[in-house]
Structure 1
Amino acid sequence: MFYKSTRNSEVKVSSAQAIAQGISEDGGLFVPSEIPAITLDDIKALGEKSYAERAFFVFSKYLTDFTEAEIRYCVEGAYNTKNFDTDNIAELAHLFDGTYMLELWHGPTCAFKDMALQILPYLLTTSIKKLGVDKKVVILVATSGDTGKAALEGFKDVEGTEILVFYPEDGVSAMQKKQMTTQEGGNVGVCAIKGNFDDAQTGVKTIFTSKETADKLAENGMMFSSANSINWGRLAPQIIYYVSTYAQLVADGEIELGDKINIVVPTGNFGNILAGYYAKHMGIPVNKLICASNANNVLTDFIKTGVYDRNRPFHTTISPSMDILISSNLERLLYHLSGSDDAQIREWFGSLSKTGRYEVTDEVKKAIADEFYAGCCDDEQTKACIKEIYDEYSYTCDTHTAVAVKVYKDYAAATGDKTKTVIASTASPYKFSGSVLAAIGKDTNADEFGLVDELAEVSKIPVPASLAALKDKEVRFTKVIDKADMKDYIYSALGI
């Protein structure tokens, strides 16, 4: 299998090249030339296997230039109880009748990004070695909160790499900020920018595709790659947990083999739900992919109308990892739905860059409506949902997962759909202790770690060791810059 650019279908690279490069030189994203198929018999067999073995099976379909030994090295290095606090890697909690919480936050940074970013360093370093590249790889990351810490943790002290993370100064939770600014490792750098996540993401993509910057790095024996989900090596691992979840539901007798499920995903950048789309088109029986947004509801409006318009107020919410108005991974979906029409993609995303909006064709609008449902909720509705779930089921969910639960409840009420449903739970409630405690009516006057202690008492969920350890960690990174100065910061951090 080879990988094409969404903006130039003539580009054809191996999976190793796609992972090492991160983004195509034309600014497009790499997509597989075809979506590989898996059968119901395959799914049934996976039910008896470990998460690492399920990952091996899925990766063997996409990374066809990797040897069996290389794939096993990657999955076994990432998916183990040294990195995750559960043998299952991803846990399924039966919330209420026919509804399951897919807990994706049992990794070292307590967010779903660990599911991909624990394995990406293995995929990337293996890819570099396969390609015979003799350069230091500089990982550039823009984060709305969780990707930054997960990437830093995955790449810290990985030989032959440097990682630089940019986050919006006032756009992450106190715990997320503490996780990043105290990061250990000799090859890491963290910097806040004055602006929002979209500013950071746009800055990183611009620097990525700058020939001047690429040449300067090359002169110094370096090259860029990405740990954001613009990199196929970040997105592919997310497909696995949807495949794994369906196989587990069958193995547990919760569904019959072949029964359809709904998948609900709280998302801003569209990568997590796009992984569900890939799983569906591989052969996982999925009825509806339900896209949940917070007050930054650009995706909700797009899925309902076919018009993508980022010309709207930007809201800073209690679910900050979803505070995004430019959803990068939508480009991959539209490339597939348009029949791999790279000219159309260039037109739409050129318009997005110039005017902030585009409108897809009627044919693509219908295809989106067939696959997806979308809804959104504001902070007050999110808080009310956290309290409702806590009061009714003694289950404590974070501010992002609550958005998904609220949107799913709205969907079920509007459609009467009784299909069994998996809700992606994307972060530990401890990453947003103050907001969660406020939602369930508890005192929030303590400092961040006092709030953690209070939430432990209320939720009866053990405090993750990685978060508890932050209390006495020294802050290493305090720099705040204008978004226009990102390139200069990179040069300075790299000493070039």
Structure 2
Amino acid sequence: MNTLYRSTRETASHTMTSSQAVLQGLTPDGGLFVPVTLPIADFDFEQLANMSYQEVAYEVLKLFFTDYTAEELHACIDAAYGDQFDDPAIAPVTKHGNQYYLELFHGPTIAFKDLALQILPHLMTTAVKKNHLESEIVILAATSGDTGKAAMAGFADVDQTKIIVFYPKDGVSAIQKQQMITQTGDNTNVVAINGNFDEAQTTVKQLLNDPQLRQRLADHQYQFSSANSINIGRLFPQVAYYVYTYAQLIHQGHIKNGDAVNFSVPTGNFGDILAGYYAKQLGTPIHKLVCASNRNNVLTDFFNTGTYDKNREFYLTSSPSMDILVSSNLERLIFYLTGEDSLATAQLMQDLQTKGSYTITPEMRANLADFWAGFVTENQDQDEIHHLNHAHHYTIDPHTAVASAVAKQYRNATKDQRPMVVVSTASPYKFPQAVLTAITGESTTVDGLTAVDQLHDLIQTPIPPTVTALRTAPVRHNRVAAVDKMGATIESILNLN
């Protein structure tokens, strides 16, 4: 079956192949690419249970990227998931207490974004050749902390590409910032903005579809694409680790084939948990996808009331990658809730842009049964880190702690005793100040590498090489821009003036 792609906001008459959609990133009408028809999987989990991560990834990706040959996909996968990961399992599953933890932080930037952003450059450069593209690809991305570093690490010095990343100057951890501003690669650029992630993301989406800017790029042999999870080359590789996790639970003897499990996912832009939704649609026995939020609980309110309302106070928390009030990937779920009605989807997205809110119909709410949502306060987040460290000698980062704590909320509220997998999205060394404070119970002002050293002394877990390298890495990026100057900054970087 050939999987073609359409926009969430336009009729299915305009379609693209998967490689064309990877190159395009965002649809011309501002919507997101979705499969015209969801692929049909026939997974044999008994076989998958004995496969490597790379082998499982191929079984998943061949369903979504059907205009790539088997040889091309294998080459992309082998290049993406190799020695740059410090665990041969790539995404190991461990158990602590009565919950399982899917560790997605064993890649080169110690965050879950590596599972998608190590393969996206290979999917994209293959797509360039398949479509005989002569223009240079300009990857544009907004980051709440992790996407930026992972994207730049993936695209650094990749031929025929440049990458420009915008991040909120005061909205990332010290280690996240240091990782980005020291990034090597002649084609990498990172810019701090005087604003928050939502402002960065909204502006990036506007710039991606600015016809005048697109024309100026074309005049200079450039073409925009995206490294955010709005790009299908980012989104669908994430489906693989849900399928792999289920197979590994069988392999480890924790469940039998066919037993349903739950996943609790720390959720900001909705890409990670949406990948779980697609995994369930492909036949992975997932009972509930638990949407876990921090104090910026716009998604919790949406799932519990049917109203998405971004008109609320924005909080800076110790889990900054989730400090988001506009969850871009939710549009794809909305599209499915409407029964794939592009006009209805476009209207709801228009309401969000003009009014800052929208309310779905009772019929649409009835289709949300796959999800359960909760949130935690900063104190509850710290309590969860403290508990796991002291009770189970397992140290987690603040984002993982959100998912772990909300998973327990779900169990208490529903009495559901199915196996629960907490999606662990980052190394604790990426947020050492917050983790130190949580474990010791004492507020600390130290941050960055000093906090890393103190955390290491406390937990005795090896410091990841990517963090150690920061000690001597020179600062290479020091641009700062106002939100309304992001377009001008892009033109300056690309010498379009």
Fold-level match, TM-score > 0.5?
A: yes
The residue aligned with 2:317 is 317
Deviation per CA, 1:391-436: give whole Å up to 9, x if none. Answer: 1111100000000011111111111110001110000000000010
Deviation per CA, 1:346-371: give whole Å up to 9, x if none. Answer: 11000000000001111111111x11
Structure-1 separation of matches of 2:375 and 2:51: 36
1:10-89 superposed matches below 5 A: 10-40=13-43, 42-80=44-82, 82-89=83-90
The residue aligned with 1:463 is 463
Structure-2 separation of matches of 1:443 and 1:311: 31
Shift of 1:295: 0.4
Structure-1 separation of matches of 2:317 and 2:303: 21
Question: 1:440 aligned to 2:439?
Answer: yes
1:346-357 superposed matches below 5 A: 346-357=346-357
* Bigger Cα displacement from structure 2, 103-112 vs 443-452: 443-452
Q: Contact 2:433–2:447 at 8 Å: present in 1 too?
A: no
SS at match of 1:86: coil
1:253-264 superposed matches below 5 A: 253-264=253-264
Look up the equivalent residue of 1:283 and give its one-letter code: G
1:304-383 superposed matches below 5 A: 304-368=304-368, 370-383=369-382
The residue aligned with 1:176 is 176
Look up the equivalent residue of 1:403 and give its one-letter code: V
The residue aligned with 1:194 is 194
The residue aligned with 1:404 is 403
1:91-240 superposed matches below 5 A: 91-97=92-98, 99-240=99-240
* Bigger Cα displacement from structure 2, 138-147 vs 331-340: 331-340
Structure-1 separation of matches of 2:408 and 2:458: 25
Deviation per CA, 1:2-23: give whole Å up to 9, x if none. Answer: 0010001322110001100001
Structure-1 separation of matches of 2:41 and 2:6: 22
5+ residue gaps, structure 1:
none
TM-score by length of 2: 0.98
Shift of 1:379: 0.9
Structure-1 separation of matches of 2:344 and 2:116: 30
Change (3 A) 1:387 1:223: same
Shift of 1:36: 2.1
SS at match of 1:13: coil
SS at match of 1:110: coil
Structure-2 separation of matches of 1:28 and 1:292: 25
The residue aligned with 1:245 is 245
Shift of 1:445: 4.7
Shift of 1:476: 1.3
Structure-2 separation of matches of 1:415 and 1:69: 46
Structure-2 separation of matches of 1:74 and 1:252: 28
Aligned residues: 492
Structure-1 separation of matches of 2:321 and 2:212: 31
Look up the equivalent residue of 1:423 and give its one-letter code: V
The residue aligned with 1:300 is 300
Structure 1 runs of 4+ with >3 Å offset: 442-447
Structure-2 separation of matches of 1:417 and 1:273: 19
Structure-1 separation of matches of 2:127 and 2:324: 30
Look up the equivalent residue of 1:421 and give its one-letter code: M
Shift of 1:447: 4.8
Structure-1 separation of matches of 2:231 and 2:445: 40
Structure-2 separation of matches of 1:137 and 1:312: 36
SS at match of 2:85: coil
Identical aligned residues as a percent:
49
Structure-1 separation of matches of 2:169 and 2:208: 22
* Bigger Cα displacement from structure 2, 48-57 vs 270-279: 48-57
Q: Contact 2:174–2:447 at 8 Å: present in 1 too?
A: no
Change (3 A) 1:317 1:447: closer
Structure-2 separation of matches of 1:332 and 1:125: 25
* Bigger Cα displacement from structure 2, 10-19 vs 172-181: 10-19
The residue aligned with 1:417 is 416
Change (3 A) 1:397 1:484: same
Shift of 1:446: 4.1
CA RMSD of aligned residues (A): 1.0
Shift of 1:444: 3.2
Q: Contact 2:432–2:447 at 8 Å: present in 1 too?
A: no
Shift of 1:275: 0.2
Look up the equivalent residue of 1:7 and give its one-letter code: R
Structure-1 separation of matches of 2:109 and 2:416: 35
Structure-1 separation of matches of 2:42 and 2:60: 12
Shift of 1:279: 0.1
Structure-2 separation of matches of 1:267 and 1:460: 29
Shift of 1:247: 0.8
Structure-2 separation of matches of 1:422 and 1:437: 25
Shift of 1:78: 0.5
Look up the equivalent residue of 2:117 and give its one-letter code: L
Structure-2 separation of matches of 1:203 and 1:222: 19
* Bigger Cα displacement from structure 2, 443-452 vs 118-127: 443-452
1:469-484 superposed matches below 5 A: 469-484=469-484
Question: 1:90 aligned to 2:94?
Answer: no
SS at match of 2:27: coil
